[in-house]
Structure 1
Amino acid sequence: MRFTHKLFTLALALGASATAALGQVPTPAPAQAKPILLVGGTLHVGNGTVVNDAAVAFDKGRITYVGAQNGFAADKAAYEVVDVKGQHIYPGLILPNTTLGLTEVDAVRATVDSREVGVFNPNVRALIAYNTDSDIIPTLRTNGVLLAQVTPRGGMISGQSSVVQLDAWNWQDAAVRADEGMHLNWPAMVLKLNAAEEAQAVQKRQDARDQQLRDLESLLTEAAAYQQLPKGRKENLRLTALGGLFDGSKTLFIHVDYGKEMIEAVRFAKRLGVQKVAVVGARDAWMALDFLKQNNVAVVLSRIHALPRRADDDYDLPYKLPAILQQAGIPFCLDYQGDMEIPGSRNLAFIAGTAANFGLSKEQALTSVTLSPARLMGLDKDYGSLEQGKSATLVVSTGDLLDMRTNNVTRAYIDGRAFSLENKQLYLNRKFSGKYGL
């Protein structure tokens, strides 16, 4: 009886593992083994240039030729030639400001590892918590998102973000640029909540905010002084982590929305010696265009698919804000925040598509999710556009990548590696389509 029970248990376990395997994250692709040549497609370089009947060649993960097909002079016999006639070739999209790989199911606390306890956590590294086995990651790759800036949340200083590529065995393999940014959540200005609120209560909240800013100034001042100490000093992880803000090796990403708060936050950071500043969210950026440009502040624009903030705002203000920034000459890129942030991040391309219908050209919209975030994160020498010598990180789509009606990625490469576009959602779609005859 005991032997029969063991056989039953073993069979049940094997059956469960076989079923689970169908929905698992695909195995990461091996390194590129042979030169590849894509021919015949329409090439969208990512910097505004479009080439019809193009060719893109790459070997050992690097682009060796990009341009018109009739200008490719090498022997095609040495290449694995892929005919993509009638299709479109794009740089892999880059998703800024995301908890991808840090959050699996928002409602299940055990799957959320995006924040630490405390107010000031500059030494926190989002990279080491990044889960390459997340079921959500392949769903983004299927829509063309191949890199992401994994970002912590919570507190006033949340910690350090890192850029990862989305086909890796572990966080070490995934890392493209580690600890490239520090994230600061700017405390909201104090406003009277309602007519009945007493002045004493308002002042109490104002005093609390003033103390927060004094504590922040004290920490940044101490960090700047710490960098001047001689080598061999006793290590302080928090102050060491902040050091890159003062030599320009890290960007300070300030999460802030209101116009006055943006101006206050940028002036605060500049006064304390921070070299590179970007604002994240920035829904009131249109109110501070001259200030942002004069101070060389880049914008990570959030929540394009949103209602206006105020009753007297233009109904389409969130949609046309990218075009306003483009016209003002302010560097910007788009992220995906809002309800269902993580599973919805696969729609990054369609956020850019909306901007393309409200003032941006299609190529400008593409740049906002490729080359622009690459520049902001210091990756543009390798990623963000398809140019000779850069990484062969790209996607091929049968239709317009930024249009949800025609987006259909058929091939994708990260550093020249052709990986599987399979994901759990596609598997479930096939499973239940078969059951119900859809």
Structure 2
Amino acid sequence: MKINKRYISAFAALLLSTAAFAQVPAPAAKQSKPVLLKGATLHVGNGTVVENAAVGFDNGKITYAGPQSGANLSGYEVVDVTGQHIYPGLIQPNASLGLNEIESVRATIDWREVGDLNPNVRSVVAYNTDSDIIPTVRANGVLMTQVAPIGGTIAGSSSVVQLDAWNWEDAVVKADEGIHMNWPAMLVPTGNRQQDERLNRMKEQREQTLRELSQLLSDAAVFKAGKNDAENLKLSAMAGLFDGSKKLYIHTNYGKEIIESVNFVKQFGIKNIVIVGAGDALAVADFLKANNIPVIYSGVHALPSRAEEDVYNPYKMPYLLHKAGIQFALDYDLSIHGIRNLPFIAGTAAAFGLDKEQALASVSLNTAKILGIDKQAGSVEVGKDATIVVSSGDLLDMRTNNVTQAFIQGRKIDLNTKQKYLYEKFENKYKAQQKQVPTGATTSAGK
């Protein structure tokens, strides 16, 4: 079949026009002029909804958020987003985003350190701003994350980053804000002799781990209280736990483990505690409230942990936690590729009892409060960072979620992804082929 050179040239031009998006988009330049978005429905993030609203921002900070009729348009570049929705940028807590790229390639995995007690490990210094996964997350409205390590009893420290930066130093919103502890699992006898012998050995190992943990916390408390000229990276990294400047994130699900772990660390004067995972949070709700402990719930899109539970129980859990008066936020567990679905777990929670605006808060303002960044992020309010999302549909609904614009600290970010690039590439390929083929003919690709 004779191929028209004109079509080849057109096809090549189309490929060249999209080739620039094959890589991670370059970070946006600093905001250079005031911008005002007008005409959209504003979802503030604190439960308030404003119809026909306007949001203005300058130098990366929000200067106006309210009814369009009250906005001063003088000096602003006005962007009409009538019929769309404005939301705060969503925040994913407890994530390995930027620490793990390809699980089958060891060189791209940097989310844990060798050893069991590593409070001095700083996950943020391994954060890769050029991760191909980051653009896919931003495209669904997730603009910030808590980069957290995994592994061992004390995994290390986490930091909060925004997702548009050249390097980890530029990305940091709040550095080393907490230490992550994986609580050793309780062991229950099975009645099987061979299995119970193995469990007894594991129990001995658990008791040894708890003794070592107790010694480390005791040493860290003494180190914090005294005047020490000698440098000790492990102990100095934990100092903030004793004055409340750092949070202790305890990863556990079982109700008895939640109570045991909290009582254990409180012996050493640690009070700023967050439970991560929190599968049994509802069963120990009174204990959590009495100790003023928030939770990061990880299991919305999961099956129940017990056979006798309602299969929809994980979907209902955010509503039940809210009803019980427990401060909570939602995360999408450690699946880095799944973080882009963070808005949809909030949507699931809204479909199973939680108010839609409360569901939004569970992935924005609630998370910001738990992470200690609510003075600058989590809601669309004057004085906070202009980290906002514009969607033509409901951000929490996977059928209508369509992020048309996003801003991080006032910078309009590039929403292109490798997936979008590949879609356009092959769409253009087959369109070009269809133009080449006479009516009734079949291409080799179509055989």
Q: TM-score if structure 1 supplies the norm length?
A: 0.93
Cα distance, 1:110 vs. partner?
A: 1.0
SS at match of 1:197: helix
Mapped pair 1:125 → 2:122 = yes
- RMSD over equivalenced CA pairs, Å: 1.7
- The residue aligned with 1:266 is 262
Q: Percent identity?
A: 59
Alpha-carbon spacing, 1:199–1:370, altered in 2? closer, same or farther (3 Å): closer
SS at match of 1:410: strand
Mapped pair 1:393 → 2:387 = yes
Alpha-carbon spacing, 1:18–1:101, altered in 2? closer, same or farther (3 Å): farther
Superposed counterparts of 1:191-270, under 5 Å: 191-193=188-190, 195-197=192-194, 199-230=196-227, 233-270=229-266
- The residue aligned with 2:136 is 139
Alpha-carbon spacing, 1:222–1:430, altered in 2? closer, same or farther (3 Å): same
- The residue aligned with 1:190 is 187
- From 77, 82, 85, give the equivalent of 1:80: 77
Q: Distance in 2 between matches of 1:271 and 1:120?
A: 19
Q: Distance in 2 between matches of 1:235 and 1:153?
A: 25
- The residue aligned with 1:69 is 68
Superposed counterparts of 1:347-386, under 5 Å: 347-386=341-380
Q: Distance in 2 between matches of 1:348 and 1:283?
A: 18
5+ residue gaps in structure 2?
Answer: 1-15, 435-447
What per-residue deviation string (whole Å, max 9, x for no partner) do you get for residues 11-63 of structure 1?
Answer: xxxxxx99975411111011110000010000000000000000111100111
Q: Distance in 1 between matches of 2:19 and 2:261?
A: 48
Q: Distance in 1 between matches of 2:400 and 2:98?
A: 27
What amino acid does structure 2 have at the position aligned with 1:100?
A: L
Cα distance, 1:303 vs. partner?
A: 2.2
- The residue aligned with 1:14 is none
Q: Distance in 2 between matches of 1:147 and 1:202?
A: 41
- The residue aligned with 1:286 is 282
Alpha-carbon spacing, 1:22–1:202, altered in 2? closer, same or farther (3 Å): closer
Structure 1 runs (4+) deviating above 4 angstroms are: 17-21
What per-residue deviation string (whole Å, max 9, x for no partner) do you get for residues 50-95 of structure 1?
Answer: 00000111100111111001112x2x24111000110000000000
- The residue aligned with 2:6 is none
Cα distance, 1:268 vs. partner?
A: 0.8
Superposed counterparts of 1:317-328, under 5 Å: 317-328=313-324
Q: Distance in 2 between matches of 1:36 and 1:198?
A: 65
- The residue aligned with 2:36 is 37
The answer to whether the Cα contact below 8 Å between 2:97 and 2:147 also exists between their aligned partners in 1 is yes
- The residue aligned with 1:181 is 178
Q: Distance in 2 between matches of 1:147 and 1:199?
A: 45
Mapped pair 1:109 → 2:109 = no
- The residue aligned with 2:402 is 408
Q: Distance in 2 between matches of 1:435 and 1:193?
A: 60
Q: Distance in 1 between matches of 2:265 and 2:150?
A: 20
Cα distance, 1:193 vs. partner?
A: 4.6
5+ residue gaps in structure 1?
Answer: 1-16
Aligned length: 418
Q: Distance in 2 between matches of 1:435 and 1:258?
A: 53
SS at match of 2:225: coil
The answer to whether the Cα contact below 8 Å between 2:367 and 2:378 also exists between their aligned partners in 1 is yes
Cα distance, 1:200 vs. partner?
A: 4.2
Q: Distance in 1 between matches of 2:298 and 2:430?
A: 39
What amino acid does structure 1 have at the position aligned with 2:211?
A: R
- The residue aligned with 2:420 is 426
Q: Distance in 2 between matches of 1:108 and 1:199?
A: 37
SS at match of 2:86: strand
Q: Distance in 2 between matches of 1:279 and 1:273?
A: 17
Alpha-carbon spacing, 1:227–1:307, altered in 2? closer, same or farther (3 Å): same
- The residue aligned with 1:3 is none
- From 130, 145, 148, give the equivalent of 2:145: 148
The answer to whether the Cα contact below 8 Å between 2:19 and 2:421 also exists between their aligned partners in 1 is no
